Amino acid sequence: MDEQKKTNVLRQGVAAAWPICLGYFPLGLALGVLAQKAEIPWWAVAMMSVLVFAGSAQFICVAMLAAGASMPAIILTTFFVNLRHVLMSSALAVYLQGVSRRFLALYSYGVTDESFAVNLTRFRAGAWDRWRALIVNHLANSVWILATICGTLVGQFVPPGALGIDYALTAMFICLLVLQLQGAIYLLTAVIAGALAVVWYLTIPGDSYIVGASISAATMGYILKRRLRREP
């Protein structure tokens, strides 16, 4: 690859990634501030962003740590929240055939909902390759890590309720939920999950109700969807 082509690849990768980075920076700041309020040190937040790099899972982890949740509950919740990465990676695999395992490991590390959507759209449109996709993943990753660290460093100067920071987690998951409600089955699954979570919260000690309600509702939704497909 000559220098001119490298420059074009870099430029196009950055152009595709900047809208993601624009959204990641304020969200990363919010996570950092929440982590600081939960008395999580900046280096731990940095390590979490490097090793986990999953916004929703990190918000959940911070919230559960602040609430005194047990480590098994946090690990299980993170596992189930991030299971969608298996599906995203499978969808991208057809465009990454023949590449080395080392590249696949480096690429898959940076896959998120947003980078997946951007790269998949561009792969399908053509004129997109693994190097441009890799730039999208890791530029977004770098911005996220920087933003979360900055959030923890400035968090001590931000009052807990300022600018709605304390509502960031709730707001984010409401948005994620709304985006998933693309049909009656999804709406019914969400209602079942909410109802089960409330009932089990009132009757079962500890925080296992979160995982239990999520798994139960997802299973019911899956079974219902399969049955509806079989009907003529």
Q: What share of the chain is helix, strand, coil (3-state, %, to 5)?
A: 80, 0, 20
Give this prediction's pTM: 0.71
pLDDT at position 136 is: 93
Q: Quote the pLDDT of residue 203.
A: 87
Helix 113-125 × helix 130-154 angle, to 10°: 160
Closest CA to 117 of 11, 23, 27: 23
Q: Domain-by-domain residue ranges, the chain? A: 3-158, 181-232
* pLDDT tens-digit series, residues 162-181: 666 656 556 656 766 776 67
| pLDDT tens by residue, 50-76 | 988 888 888 888 888 888 888 888 888
* Calpha distance 136→130 (Å, rounded): 10
Q: Residue 232: pLDDT above 60? A: no
Higher pLDDT, 231 or 44: 44
Model confidence at 231, pLDDT cuts 50, 70, 90, reads low
Q: When comparing pLDDT for 161 and 101, which is higher?
A: 101
Average pLDDT, the chain: 83
pLDDT of 145 over the 80 cut: yes
Closest CA to 171 of 38, 5, 55, 78: 55
Closest to 146 measured CA to CA, from 31, 59, 28: 28
pLDDT-based confidence at residue 47 (cuts at 50, 70, 90): very high
The closest alpha carbon to 28, from 156, 132, 172, 157, belongs to 172
Contact 21, 13 (CB under 8 A): no
Q: What angle do CA 68, 47, 179 make, to 5 degrees?
A: 70
Q: Residue 226: which pLDDT band, with cuts at 50, 70 and 90? A: confident
- pLDDT tens profile 72-90: 888 888 887 787 788 788 8
Q: Are 171 and 59 in contact (CB under 8 A)?
A: no
